[in-house]
Each structure stands twice: as structure tokens, then as C-alpha cells.
Amino acid sequence: MAAQALRLAVHPRGWRARTVERLALELPADAEAETVGHELATALAGAARRGFDAHIVLSNYHVRYAVVADAGLLAGTAEREAAATQALRSVYGEAADGWHVVMDDGGSGVALVAGVPRPLLAALRNACAAAGAGRVRIEPLFSCAVNGVRGAIGGDAGWVGVLEGGRLVLASLDGEGIRTVRTQRILRAPGEEVAAILQRARLLDGDASGRSTLVLASEDATEVVFAPDAGLQVRSVPLAGTLATEVA
């Protein structure tokens, strides 16, 4: 079973410029919330002084994604939360009832939805609070990575994917942004399986935009090769560096 990563940036507070500490904790894929919280507390004890802000990027292992169509028609927080929960529930069942759910605020069309188990969020926030953190920002890896590679997403990009820890999160794109999103475990050679998943996604999503490029962010160099007659290509970008942004 592949490992999961917990990425963390520690921003010391104060008027004097100080170095931002960046950590990546590798944990067993089946680590429970209590274990993740304990490992984070241990890392913070060795790396942070009291009085800091934390930016945590959460492995896609712990996050589930869905989309809500016509999100701009929703009125108010309650409707958005209900629609987001229902979108996740339609894919993942009753497990979604135990998740903290957030929806992308941008645009009036399709909105990306993410769900994270509430006990895990509580464990992370408690570990940061105990170590003396002020502001704590927790962000799903997929969202963080996509924001980091926006410059590589041109008009030819029909898909953006994040490959991490034996798991691929793949979003189909159109001129307005994300159309669909799916998560798939990688069970054999990553390059071969990513190519097969993309071609299935193109068939299932009924893509007629003529877009031909997959923008793939991955931890390691991954060679994705399509058949010559597939009309597809890949633009690979590194996943490293997604914590280069300051805490807002």
C-alpha cells in the first residue's frame, strides 16, 4: 500500500524576516486521524517556535472530490453546503455525511467540491494549536497543485491530473474550467495506467472540444505514452514546490 504525504509550511510570525520551514511527512496510507495528528505534533515540536502560521497540504489519499453543475444558481451558504454534500454523497455514499465539505467559490458554472473526514481536520488543527500556531490553513493537494500549474494550462489542455502516492486525481477541462473530476488508484505501471485512464475519461465525458493535452503534476518523472493515432499528448510538471506560496 502506497504511503501518503503530509506537506507543511511553517511561517514564523513577527516583524523580522525569518526562514519559512517546509516539511513533508511520509505516513502509512492507512494511518488513522489520531496517528496523523501525533506525527504532525512531533514534527512541529522539532521545527517550530510558538507564534507561527501553518499551511498544511493534505494528501489526496484523505480527500474526495466531486463537482456541482450550475453552482452560480445556488443562493447562500446553506444551499451551497447542501449541494456540495449531495454531490459527494452521490459518488461516495453515506460516508460523505462524516466529512467537512467545501466548494470552490469561483465561477457560475461547474464548481469543484472537496470532502475531508472531520476527525482528521480536528486532529490537525489540535496539533497546530498545541504547538502555538496562530492561523492554520488546510488545503487539499489537488487544489494546491492545480493552482501551482495554472501557467502550464494552455488552450490545448483538456485535462489536468495530480499523481501522488499511487493515486491519480484527474479533471476534465473546457473553456470555463473543470467539467468533471475522478480519482483512481494506480495499480500497475503509472505511465501506462494514466494513459488508459485518460482515454477512458475522454470517452465517458463525451469530449468534443478538440483539446488534446494532459497537464500532469507528479512527484516523480512519469513517462506517459499514447498510441500515435490517439491524438493525445502530455505536458509534465513537477509536483514539488506547491508550498511556495505565502499564507493569505
| Per-residue pLDDT tens over the stretch 90-100 | 999 999 999 99
Residue 198's pLDDT band, with cuts at 50, 70 and 90, is very high
Q: Using the predicted structure, report yes or no on whether residue 107 has a pLDDT greater than 70.
A: no
Q: pLDDT at residue 216 above 60?
A: yes
Instruction: Flag whether 71 is in a domain.
Output: yes
pLDDT score for 183: 94
pLDDT band (50, 70, 90) for residue 48? low
Domain of residue 97, residue span: 62-115
> Do both 186 and 136 map to the same domain?
no
Residue 246 confidence (pLDDT) above 50:
no
Asked, for residue 216, whether it belongs to a domain, the answer is yes
| Pair (175, 203) in one structural domain | yes
Residue 243 lies in a domain: no
Q: Is the pLDDT of residue 77 over 90?
A: no
Q: Does residue 129 register a pLDDT over 60? A: yes
The pLDDT mean for the chain works out to 84
- Give pLDDT, residue 248: 32
DSSP-derived secondary structure letter, 246: P
The pLDDT score that the predictor gives to residue 85 is 93
Q: Is residue 79 part of a domain?
A: yes
Examine the domain organization and report whether 100 and 195 are in the same domain: no
14 and 95 in a single domain? The answer is: no
Mean pLDDT of 112-137: 91
- 53 DSSP β-pair partners: 11
pLDDT tens-digit series, residues 16-29:
545 667 877 877 77
In this prediction, residues 233-237 reach a mean pLDDT of 90
- Specify the long-range contacts of residues 102-106, CB closer than 8 Å, at least 24 apart: 103/68, 103/71, 104/71, 104/143, 106/177
Same domain, 44 and 132: yes
Rounded to whole angstroms, how far apart are CA atoms 137 and 124? 10
Within this chain, do residues 169 and 219 fall inside the same structural domain, yes or no? Answer: yes
Give how many domains the chain has, as a whole number.
3
Interaxial angle between packed helices 33-47 and 118-130, expressed in degrees from 0 to 180 and rounded to the nearest 10: 20
Residue 189 lies in a domain: yes
82 and 57 in one domain?
Answer: no
Confidence of residue 12 (pLDDT cuts 50, 70, 90): confident
3-class SS of residue 96? helix
